[in-house]
Structure 1
Amino acid sequence: MNKRTTKNDWINAASIMYTSLTMILLSLLVTWGIELLMKELYRLG
């Protein structure tokens, strides 16, 4: 194994995974918030 690039590869993979997970969580939160907002509007309206 090449020890020179192993650490950087792990850091790059971790950052890519972190950003993709954050984007997925943000989109889920946005859709959930929109659903709750629509329910509240229907209940109030």
Structure 2
Amino acid sequence: MFGKRRQTIQKAFANKCDRHSQVESMRWIDKIAGQLVRSAWYLTF
């Protein structure tokens, strides 16, 4: 009973934070991709 209620709360929290976390992960991926491209560029030239 308590576990189910907790799950619901977690789900609501996840939905609330989902949009923000998507933006954050996009920024993070962008940063990593940029670093990879930069290092690849240094390696090739």
Counterpart CA distance in 1 for 2:37 and 2:28 is: 14
- Structure 1 unmatched runs, 5+: 1-9
Residue identity over aligned pairs, in percent, reads 9
Measure how far apart 1:24 and its partner are.
0.4
Report the AA paired with residue 38 of structure 1: R
Structure (1 or 2) with the larger CA radius of gyration: 1
Q: Deviations over 1:1-45 (max 9, x none)?
A: xxxxxxxxx4xx72x411000000000000000000000000001
Mapping of residues 6-25 of structure 1, within 5 Å: 10=12, 14=15, 16-25=16-25
Could you tell me the TM-score, scaled by structure 2's length? 0.65
The equivalent of 1:6 in structure 2 is none
Structure 1 segments, 4+ long, off by >6 Å, are: none
After superposition, the CA RMSD in angstroms is 1.9
Could you tell me the TM-score, scaled by structure 1's length? 0.65
